[in-house]
Amino acid sequence: MLKQLTITATFLALAAFSFPAIAADDATGTWKWTTTFGDKTRETTAKLKQEGEKLTGVYVGRDNTETPIEGGTVKDNTVSFKIVREFNGNKITIKYSGTLSGDTIKGKTEVEGGNQSQPRDWDAKRQK
Domain ranges of the chain: 22-126
Phi and psi torsions of 79, nearest 5°? -100, 135
Give me the torsion for CA of 23, 28, 32, 35, rounded to 10°. Answer: 90
Model confidence at 54, pLDDT cuts 50, 70, 90, reads very high
Which pTM does this prediction carry? 0.76
Characterise 90 by phi-psi region: left (phi > 0), alpha (psi -120 to 50), beta (else): beta
Q: What is the pLDDT of residues 72-99, one digit of tens each?
A: 999 999 999 999 988 788 899 999 999 9
pLDDT-derived band at 116, boundaries 50, 70, 90: low
Rounded CA gap, 6 and 3, in Å?
Answer: 5
C-alpha distances out from residue 37 to 40, 79, 114, 115, 118, Å = 5, 23, 12, 11, 12
pLDDT at 15: 43
pLDDT given for residue 122 in this prediction: 94
For the chain, the average pLDDT equals 83
